[in-house]
Amino acid sequence: GESVGLHLPTLSVQEGDNSIINCAYSNSASDYFIWYKQESGKGPQFIIDIRSNMDKRQGQRVTVLLNKTVKHLSLQIAATQPGDSAVYFCAEISGGSYIPTFGRGTSLIVHP
Amino acid sequence: NAGVMQNPRHLVRRRGQEARLRCSPMKGHSHVYWYRQLPEEGLKFMVYLQKENIIDESGMPKERFSAEFPKEGPSILRIQQVVRGDSAAYFCASSPPAGWETQYFGPGTRLLVL
């Protein structure tokens, strides 16, 4: 069946490094993608989104890249800070739907 | 502008009891979504409601679970005769009428069934 998943369950980086979190999706009908950040004990927080007619979108310290050819999505965090430590989820919404399908999540650990 | 509020934040129930989870959407939001999250897993969609209407309940178990979003008051997710497998974090999200793509999540209710 269709699924959204993450390559790495845990990513450890040093403060100041750049972080890259990857996500694979298999539903070719997906046309909208969202990255969420979830800190311990809290609900998911919207970070950035991208539509399928785009390859790249930048926010504050974050960049999302979409490669439709290989159905791959990535979140890049520049100059990672301890406050970035959290679980990051990608979610996809296919055309005509309004319900995001979440991946399993990647835990980002930032060491000071 | 207060965000999405959920209560209680933690709920402990014994098997067979009822659990009631409440969600107050952000001001101006008329769409509410409920999700369940098991440990170390992503969120799973349960139900999508608008005021006084259930739009999509395809992710909700057919038995023991129900949801409502009355004209006045919070949205309620009700779980009857809870079992241990119901233990999870339940998140509510809301969105404005024309902005379903961006859902704002509440802090969640962590349900523990003993």
Contact list, B45 vs chain A (CB under 8 Å): 99-101
Q: Inform me whether the pLDDT recorded for A1 exceeds 80.
A: no
- Of A84, A89, A87, nearest to A102 by C-alpha is A89
- Dump pLDDT digits (tens) for B79-106: 999 999 999 999 999 998 776 677 899 9
Contact list, A57 vs chain B (CB under 8 Å): none
Whole-number CA gyration radius for chain A = 13
Contact A89, A103 (CB under 8 A): yes
Residue contact B40–A103, C-beta within 8 A: no
Q: Please, which residues bridge with residue A105 across strands? A: none
Q: What residue ranges in B1-114 does DSSP mark as E strands? A: 5-7, 10-13, 19-24, 31-37, 43-50, 53-56, 65-68, 75-79, 88-95, 104-105, 109-113
- Dump pLDDT digits (tens) for A14-72: 999 999 999 998 888 888 999 999 998 899 999 999 999 999 999 999 999 999 999 99
Contact list, B100 vs chain A (CB under 8 Å): 98
Chain B 44-103, CB below 8 Å of chain A: which residues?
A: 44-45, 48, 56, 59, 91, 93, 100-103
For chain A, first and last CA: distance in Å? 41
Q: What is the DSSP letter of B72?
A: S
Contact list, A91 vs chain B (CB under 8 Å): 42
Contact A71, A24 (CB under 8 A): yes
Among B40, B42, B91, the residue with its CB nearest the CB of A43 is B91
Residue contact B40–A105, C-beta within 8 A: yes
Q: Inform me whether the pLDDT recorded for B39 exceeds 80.
A: no
Residue contact B91–A93, C-beta within 8 A: no
Buried b / exposed e over A82-92, threshold 16 CB at 10 Å, is eebbbbbbbbb
Contact A21, A88 (CB under 8 A): yes
Q: What is the DSSP letter of B52?
A: T
Q: Inform me whether the pLDDT recorded for B10 exceeds 70.
A: yes
What is the distance of C-alpha A18 from the center of its chain?
A: 14
